[in-house]
């Protein structure tokens, strides 16, 4: 039996495992029956634009959304390194407006400022589920007011807010103030929405600090990077399943008694300790990669080792497509890749499969080498030690500088 002869019920069940783009790519125009299924029988489409190229997003805008706008029940948008300004582009699109998604129940947004958040939410009075990742802090009383006035039907609320405190004094008092605003009847009894807050610093000297405030259980793809958690508080005594995991290498044999499964893991942060036996680092990390079938992002938070001992070379993964290599050396300084290390990266198994790369390099020529030799790369966030472009520089001027 081939695919086109499968019963409708089986095809409808299988559709839940495909993205919107894949559904149209695989099912459209195979035959009239499947076309009818696609456009008239599929009642629930999930529009996820995260991690898509600009070409793919434009294809969805032009070819798919107009015909299925009344069947879209969830939308996922992000302004991160991979898809900058995606939310603004979506909101301001000429062919449709947010209020036209009549059956939209859930929206997930990342890296959005507060003014745009409120503008977006005012167009979604029937929203059932909200998930947002913000660069500002909104206290519990303010959120309560927004939800009561704008989102009266909201039932599922997931948020992460990351911001820089005005000062590093009285950390406990500052976190207590956050916690207290989320301990009202609205949060604890009426909705049973609980939050946790962490105070982070990039090093023990607290040269740069920030605070994460997030709902639990934690449902975001990434968490703290290159940081030390100085203090944590929560409105609930326990937290549940995490999709990200920080790990210190090398670990001892007790590690797998504490963490026995990695099948849900999407982001792994690796801290390499230079004062321990380093012989087992690569085998231990490979062991985790072999078990983490859904792992998408691999980040190295610190690197207290010599250049020649880099554990990235030789590592393999069937799922990792994002590498975050902005890390700290043993002196607490940002580490920069040189020409040799960039060449090794492009030839490594993880580098060959890499689609999203975050890295710091020693000079601009290294950037060109990465672009020219990483064939699967679609998003590059890079800093060069010999040149930093100002916010006023255009993209074209930056490219010209590279070519020169």
For each of the domains in the chain, give its residue range(s) and CATH number, in order of start. Answer: 238-388 (3.80.10)
Strands 209-216, 244-249: parallel, antiparallel or unpaired by DSSP? unpaired
Residues 12-57: tens digit of each pLDDT: 777 777 777 777 777 777 778 877 777 777 778 888 888 888 888 8
Count the Cβ atoms, other than its own, within 10 Å of residue 236: 15
Count the Cβ atoms, other than its own, within 10 Å of residue 78: 22
Q: What is the mean pLDDT of residues 236-255?
A: 60
Which of these ranges, 86-90, 174-178, 232-236, 396-400, has the smallest mean pLDDT?
A: 396-400
Q: In what order do the strands lie in the sheet with 297-303?
A: 244-249, 267-272, 297-303, 322-324, 356-361, 379-384
The C-alpha atoms of residue 197 and residue 199 are separated, in whole angstroms, by 7
Q: What pLDDT score does 196 carry? A: 87
What's the token pair of residue 106? 């859930």
Closest CA to 304 of 228, 248, 360, 343: 248
Decide if 233 contacts 197 (C-beta within 8 A): yes
Q: What pLDDT score does 393 carry? A: 47
Asked if the model's pLDDT at residue 302 lies above 80, the reply is no
**For residue 260, what pLDDT band results from cuts at 50, 70 and 90?**
low
Q: What is the mean pLDDT of residues 168-182?
A: 92
Q: What pLDDT score does 399 carry? A: 43
CA 297 to each of CA 270, 351, 391: distance values in angstroms, whole numbers, following the listed order: 11, 12, 27
Half-sphere exposure at residue 350, Cβ-oriented, CA atoms within 13 angstroms = 25
Which of these ranges, 85-89, 132-136, 184-188, 393-397, has the smallest mean pLDDT?
A: 393-397
Asked if the model's pLDDT at residue 142 lies above 70, the reply is yes
Cross-strand bridge partners of residue 107: 75, 130
Mean pLDDT of the chain: 80
Q: What pLDDT score does 102 carry? A: 87
Half-sphere exposure at residue 305, Cβ-oriented, CA atoms within 13 angstroms = 21
**For residue 385, what pLDDT band results from cuts at 50, 70 and 90?**
confident
Asked if the model's pLDDT at residue 390 lies above 50, the reply is no
Rounded to 10 degrees, the C-alpha dihedral 247/253/256/257 comes to -120
Decide if 212 contacts 224 (C-beta within 8 A): yes
């Amino acid at each position: 039996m081939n695919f086109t002869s499968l019963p409708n019920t089986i095809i409808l069940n299988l559709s839940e495992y495909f993205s919107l783009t894949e559904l149209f790519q695989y099912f459209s125009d195979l035959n009239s029956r499947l076309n009818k299924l696609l456009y008239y029988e599929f009642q629930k489409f999930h529009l996820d634009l995260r991690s898509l190229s600009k070409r793919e997003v434009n294809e969805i805008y032009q070819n798919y959304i107009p015909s299925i706008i009344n069947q879209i029940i969830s939308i996922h948008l992000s302004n991160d390194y991979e898809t900058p300004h995606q939310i603004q582009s979506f909101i301001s699109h000429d062919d449709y407006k947010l209020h036209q998604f009549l059956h939209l129940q859930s929206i997930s947004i990342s890296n959005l400022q507060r003014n745009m958040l409120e503008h977006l939410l005012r167009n979604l009075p029937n929203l059932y589920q909200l998930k947002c990742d913000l660069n500002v802090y909104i206290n519990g009383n303010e959120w309560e007011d927004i939800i009561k006035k704008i989102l009266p039907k909201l039932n599922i609320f997931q948020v992460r807010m990351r911001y820089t405190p005005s000062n590093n004094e009285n950390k406990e008092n500052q976190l207590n103030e956050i916690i207290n605003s989320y301990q009202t009847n609205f949060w604890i009894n009426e909705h049973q929405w609980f939050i946790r807050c962490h105070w982070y610093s990039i090093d023990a000297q607290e040269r740069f600090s920030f605070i994460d405030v997030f709902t639990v259980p934690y449902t975001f793809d990434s968490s703290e990077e290159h940081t030390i958690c100085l203090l944590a508080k929560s409105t609930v005594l326990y937290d549940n399943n995490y999709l990200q995991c920080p790990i210190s290498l090398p670990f001892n044999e007790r590690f797998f008694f504490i963490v026995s499964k990695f099948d849900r893991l999407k982001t792994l942060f690796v801290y390499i300790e230079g004062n321990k036996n380093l012989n087992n680092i690569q085998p231990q990390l490979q062991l985790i990669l072999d078990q983490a079938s859904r792992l998408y992002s691999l980040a190295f938070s610190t690197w207290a080792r010599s250049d020649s001992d880099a554990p990235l070379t030789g590592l393999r993964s069937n799922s990792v497509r994002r590498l975050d290599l902005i890390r700290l050396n043993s002196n607490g300084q940002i580490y920069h890749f040189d020409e040799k290390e960039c060449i090794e990266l492009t030839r490594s198994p993880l580098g060959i499969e890499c689609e999203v790369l975050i890295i710091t390099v020693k000079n601009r020529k290294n950037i060109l080498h990465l672009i020219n030799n990483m064939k699967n790369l679609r998003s590059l966030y890079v800093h060069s030690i010999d040149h930093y472009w100002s916010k006023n520089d255009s993209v074209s001027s930056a490219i010209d500088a590279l070519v020169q």
